[in-house]
């Protein structure tokens, strides 16, 4: 009865249903929701809010992102410029309720993960930021054998309430926005799983990637492909250098031209050797498998550089 939804629909923010605490002492305003929350709790978790509340009088533009100065029903109000109300709601729910976000739960909706990643960075909620990073680092490991397991478990498996591959462009974009360098080579590599046409489609679906980032992604993809093909092309010579005298004569290679795949998972030693070797003894097969795995590791070490980053240890 007191809600006049029809009058000015677009720009009147409403009190958030649950994040409106009677004892709250500050109002956060977005374009869609108002949140009545507690300064102390925000200051405890976020250095940006702590800095702002530490200042005596109304201040404009603390770190360029907060504006304190207006009031709402006698309480100080802060406009969170540029943030979506539903995203701020996710951040505040995570700040207030321990059970709202669990880093071990991979069924958390993607929009929650992205909102927490972006806003915990923006407002420096260190604990939330650290929890999200632990989850994403587990899902995007920087060791090749661990990443093989990611691929092995299926790129089309569920993650964050959708298919894994459909998450990665959103996550890449969020990490680019927040300059989360430590995850970027892994997300670029993950996104490079798709063909070039699909890359453009998914980049659009994620809300668009700047041209430079698209160039990095596609350029890196070609470098991964090239390195993989060089590996395959080197196999006959490699085999000749490590095989017994009998195998040097009797073994042949087949289907080398069919070994084309976007990720190193497809080039694992045992898989690749058994796909291409014909007539080799077991000892020589095993030697080639080991050699392939060494070469795969060498390529993996270069993955960051393919996407314009320093080595894994320097990220």
Q: Give the residues lining the site for Zn ion (CB under 5 A).
A: 244, 247, 281, 284
Is the distance from CB of 212 to CB of 203 less than 8 angstroms? no
Q: How far is the CB of 235 from Zn ion (least distance, A)?
A: 15
Q: 221-246: b or e for each residue (b if 16 or more CB lie within 10 Å)?
A: bebbeebbeebbeebeebbeeebeee
Kindly tell me which of 110 and 244 has the beta carbon lying closer to Zn ion: 244
Return contacts of 242-248, CB within 8 angstroms, 24+ apart. 242/284, 242/287, 242/288, 242/291, 243/280, 243/284, 243/287, 243/288, 244/281, 244/283, 244/284, 246/281, 247/279, 247/280, 247/281, 247/284
Kindly tell me which of 182 and 281 has the beta carbon lying closer to Zn ion: 281
Kindly tell me which of 3 and 249 has the beta carbon lying closer to Zn ion: 249
Q: How far is the CB of 252 from Zn ion (least distance, A)?
A: 13
Kindly tell me which of 218 and 244 has the beta carbon lying closer to Zn ion: 244
Structure token pair of residue 291: 């050699």
Q: How far is the CB of 220 from Zn ion (least distance, A)?
A: 37
Kindly tell me which of 128 and 277 has the beta carbon lying closer to Zn ion: 277
Q: How far is the CB of 286 from Zn ion (least distance, A)?
A: 10
Q: How far is the CB of 292 from Zn ion (least distance, A)?
A: 16
Does residue 15 sit in helix, strand or coil?
strand
């Amino acid at each position: 009865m007191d809600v006049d939804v029809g009058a000015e629909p677009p720009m009147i923010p409403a009190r958030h249903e649950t994040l409106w605490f009677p004892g709250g002492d500050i109002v956060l305003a977005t374009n869609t929701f108002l949140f009545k929350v507690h300064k102390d709790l925000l200051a405890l978790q976020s250095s940006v809010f702590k800095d702002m509340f530490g200042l005596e009088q109304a201040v404009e533009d603390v770190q360029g992102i907060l504006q304190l100065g207006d009031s709402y029903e006698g309480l100080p109000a802060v406009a969170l410029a540029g943030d979506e109300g539903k995203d701020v709601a996710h951040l505040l729910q995570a700040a207030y309720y321990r059970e709202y976000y669990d880093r071990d739960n991979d069924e958390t909706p993607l929009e929650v993960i992205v909102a927490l990643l972006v806003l915990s960075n923006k407002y420096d909620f260190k604990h939330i930021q650290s929890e999200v990073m632990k989850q994403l680092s587990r899902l995007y490991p920087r060791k090749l054998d661990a990443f093989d397991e990611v691929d092995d478990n299926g790129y089309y498996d569920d993650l964050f309430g959708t298919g894994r591959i459909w998450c990665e462009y959103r996550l890449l974009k969020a990490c680019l926005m927040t300059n989360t360098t430590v995850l970027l080579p892994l997300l670029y590599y993950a996104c490079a799983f798709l063909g070039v046409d699909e890359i453009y489609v998914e980049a659009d679906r994620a809300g668009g990637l700047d041209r430079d980032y698209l160039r990095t992604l596609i350029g890196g993809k070609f470098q991964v492909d090239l390195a993989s093909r060089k590996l395959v092309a080197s196999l006959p010579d490699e085999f000749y250098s490590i095989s017994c005298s009998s195998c040097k004569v009797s073994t042949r290679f087949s289907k080398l031209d069919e070994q084309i795949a976007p990720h190193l998972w497809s080039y694992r030693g045992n898989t690749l050797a058994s796909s291409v070797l014909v007539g080799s003894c077991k000892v020589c097969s095993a030697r080639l498998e080991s050699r392939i795995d060494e070469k795969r590791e060498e390529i993996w070490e270069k993955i960051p550089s393919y996407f314009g980053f320093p080595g894994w240890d320097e990220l």
